Chain A
Amino acid sequence: MPAIALQLTAPLRHNRQTVGRSHAHLSDEALVALVARGDETALGELYDRVGRVAFGIAYRVVRDEQLAEDAVQEGFLGVWRSAATFRAERAKASTWIITLVHRRAVDIVRRRERRPAEPLDTERSEVPDPAGSAEDEAWLGFERERVLAALGALPDAQREALELAYYGGYSQSELAERLGVPLGTIKSRMFAGLARLRELLDETETERTWTPRLTS
């Protein structure tokens, strides 16, 4: 038998340092599992990945930086507290986080006195401040164009219903009143619009797949 045990004192590699973002290679879903065990570093990594979009949507709904920060903080606190209930088969982790932040933003805006919602078009010329890596920026820019194109392909009435609801934080009955159309019409526009948007996005989907690390 080779004297394998005797060679143990001659390591090929030792004192290897794990630097910086130790969780950088985990999937979003694995990070949520770690957050469920109270891993704060994992929460920070999730913030680094999703915080940008989360703040963007929160700001779009509440239209105030301070309130948008509140929505993001409360949304991530929701992630921290309910990570154990996250089910990967129900949603992507990033989607789940955005959902939590959006809900908080809507709660906040509905508690406030409303001002008229601005149409989305006035914002399209704004250039977002680059905050992430070049790859993140490129990816986000690509996604943004793809989604804007899909929204633009919807019938106007459907797009309006979706934008006022999701970006404006309006409820279905508020929208019916604002637009002067029956509640049932608003409901069917929302479903038809969202279902069509889903179709259009599926057609152009460029899924980033995650490669399993458990190897044989």
Chain B
Amino acid sequence: MDAEAHELIAGYALDALEPADRARAKELLERSEEAREELRSLTEATAAMATAVSGPAAPPALRERVLEAAREDRQTVVPLESRRRPRLAPVLGVAAAVAAAVAVALGIWGLSVSSDLDDSRAALAQARAAATVLSSPDARQVALQQGNGTLVVSGTDAVLVLNSMEAAPAGKTYEIWVLDGETPVRAGLFSGGAARDVVPVDGTVGSGAKVLVTVESAGGADAPTTSPIVASNPV
């Protein structure tokens, strides 16, 4: 980028451009990855300037005003899903929201971690697996008999979505099991502690199988040693 381009992007980041220059800046941003990267870092500086301001606090009523404006706006904009498939909307809505959250979390995570590539790849694969199931058109929810959350199933793939699981105690892990018949089969580990844990179930979850979670020693066990704290209905 030449000096003029740098100056154009700086003016854009400060919202200081005249309309004609603004159009030029947008056009430049459209075609230049370098310009987008420049805008990204300069915008962090302008946003920092926003935090340096002191003045009156926002009136408490403003929060409700913001939400009310969104509610009114919703009445005129119907989400695509509910327009297309009204009956499935609740299920797909939840699944898609979770999938979107996973995808975004993934993006951020990829940016912030560089030290352990193998861990990073494993988490990437796991998040992709979850997103694939959650965004699949045939995704359906299976209720939990026990535990707060849901099991989302697509074909023989499944993802556990658990709300407010406490983090596993030190030296312990949560272990997922698929119970299809009499013997539970290991189906992955996770450590909990998020407002919402989204964990793909390893292996196949066939018709009639249940998905369980137990607390095990770190590293997991070959067979459950404690009572399940999460159990799904039969798939």
Residue numbers of A with Cβ under 8 A of B are: 1-2, 4-5, 7-8, 10-14, 16, 18, 22-27, 29-30, 32-34, 36-40, 43-44, 47-48, 51-57, 59-60, 65, 68-69, 72-73, 76-77, 80-81, 87-92, 94-95, 98-99, 102-103, 106, 123-124, 126-131, 140, 143-144, 146-148, 150-151, 162, 165-167, 169-173, 175, 187-188, 190-191, 194-195, 197-198, 201, 209-210, 212-216
Contacts and interface: CB of A to CB of B under 8 A. Distances in A.
Given A37-B100, A91-B40, A2 B223 contact: yes
Contacts of A128: 54-57
Contacts of A53: 50-51, 53
B3 A43 contact: no
A194 B42 contact: yes
A143 B49 contact: no
A34 B112 contact: no
A26 B97 CA distance: 13
A209 B112 CA distance: 8
A27 to B, nearest CB: 6
A80 B17 CA distance: 25
Interface string B180-216: 0011100001111111111100000000001010000
Given A27-B108, A47-B66, A129 B56 contact: yes
Contact of B46 (A1, A39, A102): A102
A213 B194 contact: yes
A72 B66 contact: yes
Given A36-B100, A147-B52, A169 B15 contact: yes
Contacts of A143: 48, 51-52
Contact of A33 (B73, B77, B100, B227): B100
A12 B213 CA distance: 12
A76 B71 CA distance: 12
22 contacts: A7-B228, A10-B227, A13-B147, A16-B164, A27-B105, A29-B107, A33-B103, A43-B67, A47-B63, A55-B57, A59-B56, A69-B65, A80-B69, A81-B73, A91-B40, A123-B54, A144-B51, A151-B52, A170-B16, A171-B17, A187-B11, A216-B126
Given A14-B146, A147-B49, A194-B46, A34 B58 contact: no
A34 B97 contact: yes
Given A7-B227, A91-B40, A166 B15 contact: yes
Contacts of A146: 48
B58 A72 contact: yes
Given A34-B101, A212-B113, A73 B69 contact: yes
A136 B40 CA distance: 25
A172 B21 CA distance: 10
B153 interface: no
B102 interface: yes
Nearest to A30: B101
Given A99-B47, A162-B49, A214-B127, A56 B229 contact: no
A4 B46 contact: no
Given A33-B101, A69-B62, 20 more contacts: A1-B184, A4-B224, A12-B229, A13-B147, A25-B194, A26-B101, A32-B104, A33-B97, A38-B93, A52-B57, A69-B65, A91-B43, A94-B47, A140-B51, A166-B15, A170-B16, A188-B7, A190-B14, A197-B48, A209-B112
Contacts of B42: 194-195, 198
B84 interface: no
Contact of B107 (A38, A65, A88): A88
B137 interface: no
Contacts of B93: 37-38
Contact of A8 (B3, B184, B231): B231
A77 B74 CA distance: 10
Contacts of B132: none
